[in-house]
Amino acid sequence: MKIITRVDEMQTQIKNEKSAGKSIGYVPTMGYLHEGHETLLHKARRENDILILSIFVNPIQFGPNEDYDSYPRDMDRDEQAARNAGADYIFYPTVQEMYQDDVSVSVLVKDRTDVLCGRNRPGHFDGVATVLTKLFHIAQPDRAYFGMKDAQQVAVVKGLVKDFNFMVEIVPVETIREEDGLAKSSRNINLLEEERSEASELYKALSSGKKAVLNGETNPESVISLVREHLENHTHGKIDYVEVYSYPELKPLSQLTGTIIIALAVRFSRARLIDNVVFTI
């Protein structure tokens, strides 16, 4: 496994791999890898000749009230996880290497961002789309792997690839869960003991909404009410949102049909948890 910090060196390596007819699987991350990331890496390893992991904490996707400097970093741990997954390369650039001086061109995401978590994070997905545009050009992957736990990000990335005609297949990977259904996240460690028990109710609430839809409920407001009621009756967390949209378009629906997402966010005392289910009627 090689750790590469320079853009030109990474591009040279990719050029050589592609000249040899190798397929490229790519997992972009901000590091501090957990089991969800490892699942992406293992899937990419199985499906491609070459596996690239990038680790880059992207400053331009952090808002003014989001502390970029305190974002967790542990390169030694990440390197070991990458080795265990069979990665061929870690691309680990500095901010200066990625952005040089000032960014003269950036990507503006015009759709799929004014709902769910994006509603309260203006500019966040512009930063995500800008850095991924750069990373896709650098890594030139055949396939790029993203976790469905952040389904809004997957929707935005799908739009980016479609609109800018990137020759990369976006591979969504199902959310990895604990035995009781809680979506795995580095934030879970911040839950108090009682909150950890209640946190499993998030997926149960989503599942109850999904079951209602599959049983014939077509009114999105009824589904939202059902999910909210479950959360209110089984947790002490503060509900940030429960929303239902088409997917990946993230558009409101008057009647539920096609592929939809039911998504929620709940704040506990020291952790804000998100989760979702995406399914087709």
Task: Give dist(CA 165, CA 153) in Å, integer.
Answer: 18
Helical (H) or strand (E) element with 129: helix 124-139
Q: Is 21 annotated as a binding residue?
A: no
- 37 part of the active site: yes
Q: Is 35 annotated as a binding residue?
A: yes
The contacts of residue 8 (CB under 8 Å, 6+ apart) are none
Q: Is 186 annotated as a binding residue?
A: yes
Q: Is 236 annotated as a binding residue?
A: no
Q: Tokens 């030694």 map to which residue?
A: 76
Q: Is 8 annotated as a binding residue?
A: no
Q: Point out the catalytic residue in the list 37, 42, 230, 234.
A: 37
Q: Is 207 annotated as a binding residue?
A: no
Q: Are 107 and 36 in contact (CB under 8 A)?
A: no
Q: Is 33 annotated as a binding residue?
A: yes
Q: Tokens 């289910």 map to which residue?
A: 277
- Conformation bin of residue 200: beta by default, left when phi > 0, alpha when psi is -120 to 50: alpha
Q: How many CB atoms lie within 10 A of CB 96?
A: 8
Q: Is 176 annotated as a binding residue?
A: yes
Q: Is 32 annotated as a binding residue?
A: yes
DSSP state of 210: H
β-bridge pairing 89-91 and 143-147: unpaired
Q: Is 36 annotated as a binding residue?
A: yes
Known binding-site residue numbers: 30-37, 61, 147-150, 153, 176, 184-187
Q: Which residues are catalytic?
A: 37
Binding-site residues for ATP, please?
A: 30-37, 147-150, 176, 184-187
- Residues of the binding site for (R)-pantoate: 61, 153
